[in-house]
């Protein structure tokens, strides 16, 4: 039996939607993409992958802040 992880499916959809040319997107298209990305973020946040991404972004932000002083 084949099972598909919803987060992986949403990630594939996001990459596929973002590969299209900007000129070909309507406002509705952009809103749908934002909703899909937010849903992906909600699914990833409590996972170890989501926590790893949060840690990396936190370190990057603190590095940028330190460099700006």
Structure tokens that stand for 16 in this block: 């596929």
Quote the pTM value: 0.61
The Cα 62–Cα 65 span in angstroms is: 5
Structure tokens that stand for 38 in this block: 């937010």
Sequence-ordered list of residues with C-beta below 8 angstroms from that of 36, at least 6 positions apart, any chain = 10, 13, 14, 17
3-state secondary structure of 21: coil
Per-residue pLDDT of the chain (69 residues; tens, 9 = 90+): 556 688 888 888 888 888 877 777 788 888 888 888 988 888 888 888 888 888 898 898 888 888 777
Query: Is 7 in contact with 37 (CB distance < 8 Å)?
Result: no
């Amino acid at each position: 039996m084949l099972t598909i992880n919803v987060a992986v499916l949403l990630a594939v959809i996001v990459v596929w939607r973002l590969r299209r040319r900007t000129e070909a997107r309507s406002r509705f298209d952009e809103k749908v993409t934002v909703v899909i990305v937010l849903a992906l973020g909600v699914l990833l946040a409590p996972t170890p992958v989501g926590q790893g991404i949060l840690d990396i972004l936190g370190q990057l932000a603190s590095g940028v802040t330190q460099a700006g002083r």
